[in-house]
Amino acid sequence: MKCVCSLACLCLLLAAGGSASAEETLPLGLPPVPVKADNPQTVAKINLGKRLFEDSRFSTTGKVSCATCHASEKTFTDSPLRVSKGIKDLTGTRNSPTVVNSAYFEKLFWDGRSPDLEDQALHPFVNPVEMGLKDHNPILRIIRKDREYREAFREVFDLDAEKITMKEVTQAIAAFERTVVSGNSPFDRYQYGGDKSAMTEQQVRGLGVFLDEGRCVSCHVIENDQALFTDNRFHNIGIGINEIQSDVPGIASAFLKAKARGSNVDVKVLTDPKSSELGRFAVTSGLNDLGAFKTPTLRNVAVTAPYMHDGSLETLEEVVIHYMNGGVTNAGEEVNYYLSGGIRPLDLTDEQVDDLVAFMEALTSPEFAAKAKSQGDTGSKKEEGR
């Protein structure tokens, strides 16, 4: 059962400098945010969730919080980092995805190993290269001793301090994350708002390529009345796995053996670069999922460089060229055996490539465009020759 996230969503947007007007309850171009029946949105819960999200005491060094890798001033990523850095600057294997509009994902993480935002929040705390805790007990200890937290948890969940569990903690975090939604980009105003001047001519041409020769829309979905830019599926598009092709049979079977012995999928994929390239296969053991990763949203893509699950592509132009080459970053490289059947070489002209990149720049919501401008980093194409 789902219900619409309403006024609470507005409050947070306005507080963060968002541009939603009082009459709108949904950002333009987005559907209602799915909310779990057992975790309804309330203003108090959202505020609590935001505090938890930003609290760096929940790490062994006291310096890492969710906001470290998902910083609001960086469109809830840690751009321009290629892969994220946790405690003691330890690095993982994955690029930090944005929290913005993550409420619309049916599964969380690049390999979809979490079924919802509540579950996802549990994992980074106990990952050795993220917050580094051995278990969640230190978090509960801190919360139970903190007077403001105790009052907030009592108000939101009607629970005494000793009764607080990670269930409530993650529900609050998820409730906050469900308010981090944004639409109303130039594309939204053009496509759904009826403002035909909202995009430039080049961006309009780029939309045409996106829908046609670029073959983008099949996975980065645009619907009649909203656009999530993701199909919530997993595809091998030839990133990462190309480099370890000869290793795949060995790694895949070793991984399956480790899994049968009970070794932790979360820890293994983030700490072992080669296993990390197995993608969703690590979660499902399905052959369709070898090297497959979740289709991310393209909303705000221009301000969340670098790109792909391993952060290996720095600019949007590099991304388009990877697709042009039919699933290899440099033309002429060997295509991996498990490449999705949806990826094939494209025959785009230079102009079409530029148009496509320009279109993707039209997907930035105003609140994040302003911040990115002030930082001078838009992640769009460089002027180097191709």
Partner 1 sequence: MNREPKQVTRRQFFKAAATGIIAGALPVSLVKLSFAGTAEDFTFAYISDAHIQQIKGSNFVRNWDRGLIRAVAEANLLSPAPDFVVFGGDLAQLGTKEELDHGAELLSPLKKKLHCVMGEHDYYLDLGEYWSKLFGPQHYSWDHKGVHFVVLNSILTHDQWTHERWPTAVQRMSEMAGLDNPNGSPFMVGQKQRDWLAKDLEKVAKDRPIVVFSHSPLQKIYKGWNFWTDDAEEVQAILQPFHKVNVIYGHVHQIQYNQIGNISFNSVMATAWPWPYPSTYAQSGSHVPVLTVPMNRADPFFERDATGWQFVNLHTGKTDLHFRLFDNTDRVVGYDPAKGHPVDKTYQAKENRIPPQTHY
Is the Cβ of residue 115 or residue 249 nearer to partner 1 in the bound state? Answer: 249
Structure tokens at 354: 């530029």
Spell out the residues 6+ positions from residue 304 whose beta carbon is closer than 8 angstroms to its own. Answer: 74, 75, 77, 79, 98, 379
- Residue 354 and residue 206: Cα distance in Å, rounded? 8
**In whole angstroms, how large is the CA radius of gyration of the chain?**
21
Letter string b/e over residues 47-67, b meaning 16 or more CB atoms within 10 A of that residue's CB: bbbbbbbebeebbeeeebbbb
The minimum distance between CB 334 and partner 1, in angstroms, equals 10
Does the footprint of partner 1 cover residue 340 (CB under 8 A)?
Answer: yes
Q: Which one among 1, 194, 260, 350 touches partner 1, defined by CB under 8 A?
A: 260
Complex with partner 1: residue 8 or 216, whichever CB lies closer: 216
Hey, what amino acid is at 82?
Answer: R
Options 67, 172, 252, 348; binder of partner 1; rule CB under 8 A: 252
Pinpoint the alpha helices (H) of the chain: 7-15, 43-54, 66-69, 117-125, 137-145, 147-157, 166-177, 186-191, 201-211, 248-260, 265-271, 273-276, 281-284, 316-324, 350-361, 366-375
By the rule CB under 8 A, 56 interacts with partner 1: no
By CB under 8 A, name the one of 146, 335, 366, 377 that touches partner 1. 335
Binding piece for partner 1, criterion CB under 8 A, among 36-44, 103-111, 171-179, 279-287: 279-287
285 lines the binding site for partner 1 (CB under 8 A): yes
Ranges within 215-234 binding partner 1 (CB under 8 A): 215, 218
Among 262, 341, 376, 385, binds partner 1 (CB under 8 A): 341
Binding to partner 1 by residue 331, rule CB under 8 A? no
Subset of residues 158 to 217 that bind partner 1, contact rule: CB under 8 A: 215
User: Contact residues for partner 1 (CB under 8 A)?
Assistant: 215, 218, 249, 252-253, 256-257, 260-261, 285-288, 326, 335, 337-342, 344-345
